[in-house]
């Protein structure tokens, strides 16, 4: 789905903003601290129910308000969808889809598939495994229809097993939940492996474009050893009882990113890590569109700071060939070439106010 209207209220310094984005390229220009990134943040909240900058809603809500509101309209397959998210500074969230209140953010994610690239995105390579696991799960969620159901089943069984471990329950009690974890966990892992296998050659393709001198490989670590998962749970009980939680399983999986036989974070520079993230994101968009035939939204915060002129133009030309709606921030719109795009709009942000410019 591509956004045709966006209304933002009380998101940081954006008090009351309404824009009608272009279906293709949207350039958001303004000085530092003007509210550019806050506009991207609002779109992210609309698509995923949370900010990409912080987990604390009170940091996002305008200091003079009790709650933020983001509303969006978009079209897909001749249908108009309406999405709304209200988040209070007391960490309460209300989500509406097509005027119906819904529970959970998955309904938003299904309608508005979105990825983001920020100046901090290098942490996807250098940071902990949860970030890379989330990268994989974003893709699997959108291309495997049963993934979300299996994940919810697995999480429920995992919580129950962890509670029993803390209580010192018997092995017979644990077995009940281990069986459920094994069934759903094996499905999750099989789907993740298929996705990573599909993603890998596309990552290699984009790496050749963005970072020719560095070759990387990606692969999935399942979160346990080579034995069947149900056996790993059984043999791991003693350790898990000592720790009071489940130490292995799909919730401990990781996407390995390696170069020269070592973790990429140990070999390449921070700038190269950022280019790796861009290759990963482009590959994800490729896989998503090939599998679903749908468009997606891409947010890029401060693109000129991420790439030199040549690579920036190369990336924009590549993106212009994909079925995407893009929002990119910059302090200087002249740095974002729009010549290869079929259509574009520019928005100027100043002190939390947003105006459209031709």
Q: What is the pLDDT of residues 68-88, one digit of tens each?
A: 999 999 998 889 999 999 999
Q: What percent of the chain has pLDDT over 90?
A: 85
- Is 32 annotated for ligand binding? yes
More confident: 307 or 188:
188
Q: Is residue 233 part of a domain?
A: no
CA distance 202 to 283: 5
* pLDDT value, residue 306: 65
Report DSSP letters for 84-152, one per residue: EEEEETTS-EEEEETTEEESSSHHHHHHS-EEEE-TTTTHHHHS-HHHHHHHHHHHHHHH-TTHHHHHH
Q: pLDDT higher for 39 or 312?
A: 39
**Residue 353 located in a structural domain:** yes
pLDDT at 40 over 90: yes
- Count other Cβ atoms within 10 Å, centred on residue 289: 16
Reported confidence tier of residue 268, pLDDT bands at 50, 70, 90? very high
This prediction has a pTM of 0.94
Assigned domain for 326 exists: yes
pLDDT score of 283 more than 80? yes
Instruction: Give the 3-state secondary structure of residue 178.
Output: helix
Q: How many percent of the chain have pLDDT more than 70?
A: 99
- Please choose, from the candidates 152, 155, 130, the residue with its C-alpha nearest in 3D space to the C-alpha of residue 141: 152
The whole-chain average pLDDT of the chain stands at 94
Is residue 240 predicted with pLDDT exceeding 70? Answer: yes
Name the band, by pLDDT with cuts 50, 70 and 90, for residue 212.
confident
* Residue 110: predicted pLDDT: 95
CATH value at residue 22 = 3.40.50.300
Q: Is the pLDDT of residue 307 over 80?
A: no
- Rounded CA separation 91/110 (Å): 23
Average pLDDT, integer, range 103-121: 94
Q: Is pLDDT above 80 for 304?
A: no
Is residue 83 domain-resident? Answer: yes
pLDDT of 245: 97
DSSP state of 26: E
Residue 89 region by backbone torsions, left for phi larger than 0, else alpha for psi between -120 and 50, else beta:
alpha
Whether the CB-CB separation of 316 and 336 falls below 8 Å is answered with yes
* 353-357 and 344-350 beta bridge pairing: antiparallel
Contact 14, 39 (CB under 8 A): yes
User: For residue 241, is pLDDT > 70?
Assistant: yes
- Residue 73: CB atoms within 10 A of its CB come to 16
Q: Does the pLDDT of residue 358 top 70, yes or no?
A: no
Q: What is the pLDDT, as a whole number, of residue 343?
A: 92
Residue 61 and residue 86: Cα distance in Å, rounded? Answer: 10
Is 104 annotated to bind a ligand? Reply is no
Is 247 among the annotated ligand-binding positions?
no
Predicted local distance difference test score (pLDDT) of residue 249: 98
Is 37 assigned to a binding site? yes
Mean pLDDT of the region 224-229: 96
Whether residue 230 is contained in a domain is answered as: no
- Please state, in angstroms and rounded to a whole number, the distance separating the CA atoms of residues 141 and 154: 15
Q: Is residue 253 part of an annotated ligand binding site?
A: no
Range 149-164 average pLDDT = 98
Based on DSSP, count helices (H) and strands (E) in the chain, helices before strands: 11, 15
Number of domains in the chain: 1
- What pLDDT shows up at residue 314? 84
* Within a domain: 97: yes
For residue 302, the enclosing domain spans: 1-113+294-358
Mean pLDDT of 144-150: 97
As given in the structure block, the two tokens for residue 297 are: 């939204």
DSSP E strands in the chain: the ranges are 2-11, 14-19, 25-30, 67-76, 79-88, 93-97, 100-102, 114-117, 217-221, 254-259, 262-263, 296-300, 324-330, 344-350, 353-357
Q: In what order do the strands lie in the sheet with 114-117?
A: 114-117, 296-300, 324-330, 25-30, 344-350, 353-357
pLDDT at residue 335 in the model = 87
User: Taking residues 196-221, what's their average pLDDT?
Assistant: 93
For the cut 90, the answer to whether the pLDDT of residue 317 exceeds it is: no
Residue 338 has pLDDT above 90, yes or no: no
* Whether the predicted pLDDT of 181 surpasses 80: yes
- 67: annotated binding-site residue? no
CB contact at 8 A, 71 and 83? yes
Question: Is the residue at 100 inside a domain?
Answer: yes
């Amino acid at each position: 789905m591509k956004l045709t209207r966006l209304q933002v209220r009380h998101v940081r310094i954006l008090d009351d903003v309404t824009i009608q984005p272009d279906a293709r390229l949207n350039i958001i220009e303004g000085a530092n601290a003007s509210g550019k990134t806050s506009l991207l943040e609002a779109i992210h909240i609309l698509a995923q129910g949370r900010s990409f900058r912080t987990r604390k809603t009170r940091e996002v809500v305008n200091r003079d308000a009790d709650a933020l509101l983001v509303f969006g309209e978009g079209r897909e397959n001749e249908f108009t969808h309406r999405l709304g998210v209200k988040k209070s500074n007391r960490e309460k969230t209300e989500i509406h889809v097509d005027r119906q209140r819904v529970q959970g953010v998955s309904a938003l994610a299904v309608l508005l598939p979105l990825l983001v690239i920020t100046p901090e995105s290098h942490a996807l390579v250098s940071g902990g495994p949860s970030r890379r696991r989330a990268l994989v799960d974003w893709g699997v969620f959108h291309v495997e229809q049963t993934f979300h159901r299996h994940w919810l089943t697995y999480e429920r069984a995992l919580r129950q097993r962890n509670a029993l471990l803390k209580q010192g329950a018997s092995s017979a009690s644990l077995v009940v939940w281990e069986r459920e974890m094994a069934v759903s966990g094996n499905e999750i892992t099989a789907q993740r492996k298929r996705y990573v296998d599909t993603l890998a050659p596309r990552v290699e393709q984009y790496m050749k474009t963005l970072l020719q001198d560095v070759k990387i490989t990606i692969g999935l670590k399942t979160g346990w050893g080579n034995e069947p998962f149900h056996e790993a749970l059984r043999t791991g009980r003693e350790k898990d009882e000592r720790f009071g939680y489940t130490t292995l399983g799909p919730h401990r999986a990781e996407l390995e990113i390696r170069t020269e036989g070592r973790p990429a974070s140990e070999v390449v520079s921070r700038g190269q890590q950022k280019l790796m993230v861009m290759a990963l994101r482009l590959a994800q968009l490729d896989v998503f569109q090939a599998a679903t035939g749908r468009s997606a939204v891409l947010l890029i915060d401060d693109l000129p700071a991420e790439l030199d002129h040549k690579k920036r133009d190369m990336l924009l030309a590549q993106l212009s060939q994909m079925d995407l709606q893009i929002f990119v921030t910059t302090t200087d719109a002249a740095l974002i070439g729009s010549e290869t795009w079929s259509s574009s709009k520019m928005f100027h942000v100043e002190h939390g106010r947003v105006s459209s410019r031709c």
